Amino acid sequence: MSQLQDRTLQYYRQQQCQPGWFDLLSVMIGGMMGNAGERESQAFLQQMGDRLAGRYPLGKAATVGDLEKQINQVLARFNWGFIDIQPSDSAMIIEHLALPVADGALPLHQWHLALSAVLTGLYARWLREQGGYDRVSLSVEATSDVSLRFRYKA
């Protein structure tokens, strides 16, 4: 990692987490995945995302733009980046950008699995509360170092 990349990572961590919290989170996620396995850990973290959505409910959105705005307000409060929603005839794509950056103590693969599980639970509950159906799936479609793409499709 270059000095500039390291400096950028440090900046993100200072913006997104107070000292100690990210270390604790990394240790907890790593321990959970090591002890319970990735699949079980993802199910638990998805439940935690659902519960978090319950603590931060959205108002009724009249448009996709309104939904995007409300979600981004909550994400900004958490310093968790932002989303861009692209509706189509058969699906809705939620592009989550500027994800919280891992500190390097946890493998990037595990960090993305944990974040995608939490965000899946969060988005799925919000979408159900907007009138979506349980049978409509929300899945992670693609990832990069700083983004995740979700597909909401029946």
State CA 3 to chain mean position distance.
27
Q: pLDDT value at position 2? A: 60
Lowest mean pLDDT among 23-32, 88-97, 113-122: 23-32
Q: pLDDT value at position 9? A: 60
- What does pTM read for this prediction? 0.86
Q: pLDDT value at position 14? A: 62
CATH number at residue 105: 3.30.70.2590
In degrees and rounded to multiples of 5, residue 54 shows phi and psi of: -65, -30
Segment 123-148 mean pLDDT: 88
Angle at 80 between CA 75 and CA 84, to 5 degrees: 65
**Is pLDDT above 90 for 152?**
yes
Domains: count for the chain: 1
pLDDT band of residue 119 (cuts 50, 70, 90) is: very high
Expressed as residue numbers, the domain containing 49 is 3-153
